[in-house]
Amino acid sequence: MYAGLTALKKYYPKAHVIIGIENNKKHAIEVMRKYTDDVDKCDVCELPASYPQGGEKVLIYNTTGRIVPEGKLPFDVGCIVLNATTLSFIGKYLLTGRPLTTKCVTIDGSAVKEPKNVIAYIGTPVRELVELAGGLVCEPSKVLYGGPMMGLSMPDMDQPVLKNTNALLFFDEKDARLPEPSACIHCGRCLDACPLKLMPTELEHACEKRDVAMLQKLKVNLCMECGSCSFVCPAKRNLVESHKLAKLILREAGVK
């Protein structure tokens, strides 16, 4: 990662590098401060240990105070966000010329015998990879590409590891079952949980009515689908699915 950082400074000498690390990782903060002490315009920023701290817009706001407007990219506010894996890869690539051929993948979930992190070649079928974690306890009822909050369901275990695969989750029947949603009790927890200060309940209503104007007004396209609103909802409402659907409705209506 250090090699990636020095390369970054070489090609962007005027860039101010901010390394954001959650404040419950004291050792990582200490090590990074030690290694970057002599790097010009490079700071380690301690961030609250709360999900979704790694979301681009959240990270940019918490480290620079800048807000990425709807429909814009980090670059539009003068920022580039790189995760630690990418920075580390850039360093290795510039030293060796070797392209990205492997990924560190977390294998976890109730259907896995020995959850662990493995280094896997991109393209390896998921079915083969799970053998490295001791195999399966039972046939999984659901397999996710990604973490428990934002992961996408996989159609079958013959799918390959992709260059953006960070985690594979294998759930048994009990963990795969979605809870039955009940009526909203207007507790407001979803509003408090949203890192982008959106209004998940209002968005859900507008989506049900396919109200394009209201969905635009409520800025559904800002939603980063982090799943926090669904996670905290005591009524188990599937809010994030509704926001995904709302974005499709806007796209169908020609709204960008």
Comparing CB distances to ligand SF4, the nearer of 22 and 225 is 225
What would the two tokens of residue 138 be? 């039972």
Nearest to 193 by CA among 151, 147, 240: 240
Q: Binding marks (x or -) toward ligand SF4, 212..241, rule CB under 6 A?
A: -----------xxxxxxx--xxxx-x-xx-
Of the candidate spans 74-82, 122-130, 164-172, 178-186, the one that interacts with ligand SF4 by CB under 6 A turns out to be 178-186
What is the helix (H) or strand (E) element at residue 118, kind and residue range? Answer: strand 116-121
Q: Is 201 in the site for ligand SF4 (CB under 6 A)?
A: yes
Q: Which of 184, 212, 214, 245 binds ligand SF4 (CB under 6 A)?
A: 184
C-beta of 51: minimal distance to ligand SF4 in Å? 10
Residues 22/27/30/32 CA torsion (nearest 10 deg): -70
Q: Which of 73, 185, 248, 253 binds ligand SF4 (CB under 6 A)?
A: 185
C-beta of 100: minimal distance to ligand SF4 in Å? 29
DSSP state of 146: S
Spacing of C-alpha 246 from chain mean position: 20
* Cα–Cα distance, 157 to 145 (Å, whole number): 11
How many residues line the site for ligand SF4 (CB under 6 A)?
28
Considering only residues 34 to 63 of the shown chain, the ones binding ligand SF4 according to CB under 6 A are none
Nearest to 5 by CA among 83, 101, 96: 83
